[in-house]
Chains A and B, each alone.
Chain A
């Protein structure tokens, strides 16, 4: 019989356990557990979850990207220019926007490779560049008048469930399968676990980093498109802040800032925890600024859990000696 290790179980399903606790706590709030509200939470946060999937690929490979929010901002504005101002059909606009997202993310990777600096530092700089570009291109006005086809991405329903929720689950399944069932997923973990050893093990680390960047960029762009379509307008402040939700959610999902761990499904749970807390705080009538404070505290908690896990592992290692 295999002994159940509660520590391990807790670590593996931490996000789900916290999610259940949070659901339980809020279930006392009026209307919270209604079908409409749950669909609403999922629908409102589909874009954040999709973006988090992209960021999770990067973090599992051991990298952090701060420019995610402004990549979204740029993608949103570019989608607006393509679809509204240039009148390019929805499908083509979307494809081009996704390509832009991929390119921007790959640019971060290129600069990190060129300057031999980690992506975190590079994106502190590119974040500002992307932000500026986004405002310059949009002339800091919101772009309205998207075609119906484009708006449908964010606003149509299949049965009683909004389309973004379907897209989110579809991408979640794909990403989850990619990480757990394919050799590509194993390579991502290899990079996050020990990139030097990965390189010597014959994994083309350089190429892998570009592929991971492209994948993350595509997901970030899709996230921006859904958000833009749902709002029905594009503006430079569409997106920024999402990186914060993503990183917090991913950490809550048990992925380490040092990379090499975690599951995509836990990312889903992690982001939902934050979404529900936000939603709950809104229902409870908490002021927006207090919500910022609460989110910061959650982020600290998530980091705390990550560090706690690391320390515990080292203690275990010492005693095993």
Chain B
């Protein structure tokens, strides 16, 4: 194998921050090379340097035979580098072929040759084994298909190195499978893949080598087959964090705190379950199986067609979130930035907002009371921040999530519905969230935990409820946790027993 891309002593400084510190890395032709690290480790800066989106302060980039002290997006692309960022660079209102050929000097100088564009696009799509109509408007495609169009867009320019930044972050399981297959197809064609991902499972499945970064430094490159999850986490976090899923000392009690009977609506049908005091009930299923809808119906945010909700044996008619909160139910929404946090405001503004009416005398907010609550939760959840006034936007993903959780806990909710509580946060912060869940359960609170990461559910839940297309296909107890079995239920295969 030959080295196709080489970085030497790359340093990138931002005012007050060293994003990349003397990083040297090389990539072989035809390998799948994963780059891992926590948020802020410098992965994004690294790929933007290669893609030409940012210029390093020092160091050289060698592509094949040519060395550069910096790249521009067009220079990078001319030298066979393609980058697929998390946010796609597609024009939604144009067709697939128009997107694939965008910025590619095809056909006539002044008008576009639709025929040629279509044949060229078809050729690339066929080579990649994709069944997408070149005339289809991109906005009508699914996220997974759009990603494939992005790949085709790179391939039509004969790209030799394809960089993918968190490509599976917004894909469903099936789409993820497709993407991983595509990575292998590209590898067979001799394309080098730089694969940036938080998800250990995927990385183990497809990569040949893994490079780890931490705090802007290059740490180490390991062969995938010679390493373990634990070693990787240790390299990423910089210390041994022990068990990925901390053990819980407490067991669920008999008392049922939340009972849902025949919940229907928003595509869900006849959802029934019981949540016990001190229990973590996991909710597994594919993206779009109706889990978030169930959570939001219980919380009164989405309208339910029918179904009864009992809180501690008492029937509750919950039509708006305020009524759920009054019954002691809290929801940690799936999309932290859009639904959870008020990013432009301080921590001290965010934490009390849900209970601020309770902390008021008449109309007037009791600032002493709210300040106490803010202090309490910053300490209890060890939210890492220079001050309570810090804007939530400036916190790391893990700390943002803690603020969202604190906001809900401040309402004294004891039934917590957590929708993908660890999505998009790094390994160290994930473990803190797991510890937090264990603490909450130990205090006698109950958690309904929706997650698309099977390992996480099996590590954290006492029981797992499995969803398939709006229906519950089964419950699995901790002693019977087995990935294949749960996956089968999530794919709609109900066992006879």
- Which residues of A come within 8 Å of B, CB atoms? 178, 181-184, 186, 189-190, 193-194, 196-204, 260-261, 313, 316-321
The residue that A183 contacts in the complex, of B44, B322, B360, with Cβ under 8 A, is B360
Instruction: List, in ascending order, chain B residues with CB within 8 A of A319's CB.
Output: 14-17
Instruction: List, in ascending order, chain A residues with CB within 8 A of B357's CB.
Output: 183
CA distance A182 to B356 in the complex (A): 9
| Interface window among B110-118, B178-186, B308-316, B341-349 | B341-349
Q: In the complex the two chains form, is B15's CB within 8 Å of A197's CB? A: no
Write 25 A-B pairs (CB below 8 A) sorted by A numbering.
A181-B364, A182-B365, A183-B356, A183-B359, A183-B360, A183-B364, A184-B363, A190-B342, A193-B344, A196-B339, A197-B333, A197-B338, A197-B341, A198-B342, A200-B299, A202-B320, A202-B354, A202-B411, A204-B322, A260-B344, A318-B14, A319-B14, A319-B16, A321-B17, A321-B44
Instruction: List, in ascending order, chain B residues with CB within 8 A of A201's CB.
Output: 321, 353-354, 407
Instruction: List, in ascending order, chain B residues with CB within 8 A of A182's CB.
Output: 360, 363-365
Instruction: List, in ascending order, chain A residues with CB within 8 A of B15's CB.
Output: 319
Q: A190-B353, A319-B16, A319-B17 are in contact. Are A200 and B331 (CB under 8 A)?
A: yes
CB distance from B347 to the nearest CB of A (A): 14
B394 proximal to A (CB < 8 A)? yes
In the complex formed, the residue of A with least CB distance to B331 is: A200
Q: In the complex the two chains form, is A189's CB within 8 Å of B321's CB? A: no
Instruction: List, in ascending order, chain A residues with CB within 8 A of B333's CB.
Output: 197, 200
Instruction: List, in ascending order, chain B residues with CB within 8 A of A190's CB.
Output: 342, 353
Give the bracket for the number of chain B residues in contact with chain A. 35 or more
B157 proximal to A (CB < 8 A)? no
Query: Which 6 pairs of residues, A with B, have the shortest CB-CB distance?
Result: A182-B363, A202-B322, A193-B342, A202-B325, A319-B14, A202-B321
CA distance A260 to B392 in the complex (A): 14
Most chain A beta carbons < 10 A, residue from B15, B354, B411 = B354
B393 proximal to A (CB < 8 A)? yes
B340 proximal to A (CB < 8 A)? yes
CB distance from B249 to the nearest CB of A (A): 32
CA distance A313 to B393 in the complex (A): 10
Q: In the complex the two chains form, is A200's CB within 8 Å of B301's CB? A: yes
CA distance A315 to B340 in the complex (A): 23
CB distance from B41 to the nearest CB of A (A): 11
Q: In the complex the two chains form, is B322's CB within 8 Å of A320's CB? A: no
In the complex formed, the residue of A with least CB distance to B299 is: A200
CB distance from B153 to the nearest CB of A (A): 26
Q: In the complex the two chains form, is A321's CB within 8 Å of B40's CB? A: yes
CA distance A317 to B325 in the complex (A): 33
Q: A201-B353, A202-B321, A202-B354 are in contact. Are A261 and B344 (CB under 8 A)?
A: yes
Instruction: List, in ascending order, chain A residues with CB within 8 A of B356's CB.
Output: 183, 186
* Interface residues in B409-439 (C-beta closer than 8 Å to A): 411
CA distance A317 to B15 in the complex (A): 12
CA distance A284 to B189 in the complex (A): 76
Q: In the complex the two chains form, is A200's CB within 8 Å of B321's CB? A: yes
Q: In the complex the two chains form, is A317's CB within 8 Å of B365's CB? A: no
CB distance from B299 to the nearest CB of A (A): 8
CA distance A149 to B19 in the complex (A): 70
Instruction: List, in ascending order, chain A residues with CB within 8 A of B411's CB.
Output: 202
Instruction: List, in ascending order, chain A residues with CB within 8 A of B320's CB.
Output: 202, 204
Q: A194-B342, A201-B354, A319-B14 are in contact. Are A183 and B365 (CB under 8 A)?
A: yes
**Per-position binary interface string of chain B over residues 180-198, scored 1 when its CB falls under 8 Å from any chain A CB and 0 otherwise:** 0000000000000000000
In the complex formed, the residue of B with least CB distance to A185 is: B365
In the complex formed, the residue of B with least CB distance to A314 is: B393
CB distance from A127 to the nearest CB of B (A): 30
Instruction: List, in ascending order, chain B residues with CB within 8 A of A186's CB.
Output: 349, 353, 356, 365
* Interface residues in B394-413 (C-beta closer than 8 Å to A): 394, 407, 411
Instruction: List, in ascending order, chain A residues with CB within 8 A of B394's CB.
Output: 316-317, 320
In the complex formed, the residue of A with least CB distance to B395 is: A320
* Interface residues in B347-391 (C-beta closer than 8 Å to A): 349, 353-354, 356-357, 359-360, 363-365
Most chain A beta carbons < 10 A, residue from B340, B341, B342 = B342
CA distance A317 to B343 in the complex (A): 11
Q: In the complex the two chains form, is A194's CB within 8 Å of B321's CB? A: no
CA distance A178 to B324 in the complex (A): 27
Q: In the complex the two chains form, is A181's CB within 8 Å of B321's CB? A: no
CB distance from B336 to the nearest CB of A (A): 9
Q: In the complex the two chains form, is A194's CB within 8 Å of B343's CB? A: yes
CB distance from A184 to the nearest CB of B (A): 6
CB distance from A290 to the nearest CB of B (A): 38
CA distance A265 to B393 in the complex (A): 26
In the complex formed, the residue of B with least CB distance to A316 is: B394
CA distance A181 to B363 in the complex (A): 8
The residue that B365 contacts in the complex, of A181, A199, A316, A321, with Cβ under 8 A, is A181
Q: In the complex the two chains form, is A200's CB within 8 Å of B340's CB? A: yes
CA distance A57 to B14 in the complex (A): 38
CB distance from B139 to the nearest CB of A (A): 19
In the complex formed, the residue of B with least CB distance to A258 is: B344
Most chain B beta carbons < 10 A, residue from A189, A198, A320 = A320
CA distance A320 to B333 in the complex (A): 25
Q: In the complex the two chains form, is A197's CB within 8 Å of B339's CB? A: yes
The residue that B345 contacts in the complex, of A193, A316, A318, A320, with Cβ under 8 A, is A193
In the complex formed, the residue of B with least CB distance to A184 is: B363
CA distance A168 to B394 in the complex (A): 38
- Having A181-B364, A201-B353, A317-B393, one finds 16 other A-B pairs with CB under 8 Å, namely A181-B365, A183-B364, A186-B365, A189-B349, A193-B342, A194-B342, A194-B343, A197-B333, A199-B321, A200-B340, A201-B407, A202-B320, A203-B322, A260-B342, A313-B393, A316-B394
CA distance A190 to B324 in the complex (A): 19
CA distance A198 to B40 in the complex (A): 29
CB distance from B196 to the nearest CB of A (A): 15
Instruction: List, in ascending order, chain B residues with CB within 8 A of A183's CB.
Output: 356-357, 359-360, 363-365
Instruction: List, in ascending order, chain A residues with CB within 8 A of B325's CB.
Output: 202
CA distance A224 to B360 in the complex (A): 34
CA distance A194 to B16 in the complex (A): 30
CA distance A21 to B338 in the complex (A): 40
Most chain B beta carbons < 10 A, residue from A193, A200, A203, A320 = A200
CA distance A210 to B299 in the complex (A): 23
* Interface residues in B276-323 (C-beta closer than 8 Å to A): 299, 301, 320-322
CA distance A70 to B345 in the complex (A): 34
In the complex formed, the residue of A with least CB distance to B341 is: A197
In the complex formed, the residue of A with least CB distance to B352 is: A186
CA distance A286 to B19 in the complex (A): 54
* Interface residues in B1-41 (C-beta closer than 8 Å to A): 14-17, 19, 40
In the complex formed, the residue of A with least CB distance to B39 is: A321
CB distance from A282 to the nearest CB of B (A): 39
CA distance A320 to B390 in the complex (A): 12
Most chain A beta carbons < 10 A, residue from B344, B354, B393 = B344
CA distance A321 to B43 in the complex (A): 11
In the complex formed, the residue of B with least CB distance to A256 is: B344
Q: In the complex the two chains form, is A199's CB within 8 Å of B363's CB? A: no
In the complex formed, the residue of A with least CB distance to B411 is: A202
CB distance from A315 to the nearest CB of B (A): 9
